[in-house]
Amino acid sequence: MANVVIPDAVLVKNYTCGDENALAVLIKRHQSKLYGFIYSKVSDRDIADDIFQDTFIKVIRTLKSNSYNEEGKFLPWVMRISHNLIVDHFRKNKKMPMYRETEEFSIFSIMTDSSPNIENRIITDQVENDLQRLIEELPDDQREVLQMRIYQDLSFKEIADLTGVSINTALGRMRYALMNLRKVIEKNKIILTN
Amino acid sequence: MAKIYSEKKLAAPKKMLPKKETINFLLNYSKALKVVKTSGNLTFESIAN
């Protein structure tokens, strides 16, 4: 004898009349399609289980309160509930999205290390060496003022006191030191940036 | 004879199904839930232990 398939609408009606087995049949009939749909969106078994459970909790509460009025369209209705819950799930997690590594997307494309890479460190070393060599070429009095100001962070008053000259002289030596450096850099087309 | 190193074809994926506990929870929840509508269009839900 062929098995008679009871339509969803009849099962829903039986359930609302108190037949708890009707719900078990409905869940068994549609669980694969519904769970597969949810899993295809969330790609996580635990989350899919949670959303599946929440979907049927809504279904049960709606049916028990006799608020269901879409006879004959049970599965599309349930799918719509689960779809809304999936949207809620992603909306809730928007503030803390989870990234998964795929062929098209690498987590390292959004994670950057702010510390200089090896290339930048080499360039910085070279720039500093070049600058050091240029400073060595300056006349002694200018080099002395420049080193005290830039490398030892002394004020012009302190430089003036230490070198036994006036502040104006110290300022003048600094000015000439910078002008001479600039001249050499421009003449030799030296690039001092990285 | 040359050895084939390619991976064996995966078996057809099993049907995706929710956990048994989830289904049991839903069936028990359904049995325990009572929804009462009042004349004032209020809905009361109660869960029987």
pLDDT confidence of residue A48? 95
Chain A residues inside the 8 Å CB shell of B27:
20, 23-24, 27
Predicted complex ipTM? 0.72
Identify the three-state secondary structure at position A93.
Answer: coil
Gap between the Cα atoms of A133 and A178, Å rounded: 14
With an 8 Å Cβ cutoff, are A23 and B30 in contact? yes
Question: Residue ranges per domain, chain A?
Answer: 8-109, 118-187
Three-state DSSP at A37 gives helix
DSSP-assigned beta bridge partners for residue B44: B36
Of B18, B30, B33, Cβ closest to residue A52: B18
Residue with tokens 């940036």: A193
Q: What is the mean pLDDT of residues B7-17?
A: 61
Q: How many domains does chain B have?
A: 1
pLDDT given at position B12? 47
Residue-level pLDDT at A34: 93
Instruction: Tell me which fold the domain A118-187 belongs to.
Output: Arc Repressor Mutant, subunit A (1.10.10)
Q: Residue B7: inside a domain, yes or no?
A: no
Residues A55-104: tens digit of each pLDDT:
999 999 999 988 888 666 899 899 999 999 999 998 887 755 566 777 77
Percent of residues, chain A, with pLDDT higher than 70: 91
User: What separation, in Å, do the N-terminal and C-terminal C-alpha atoms of chain B show?
Assistant: 68
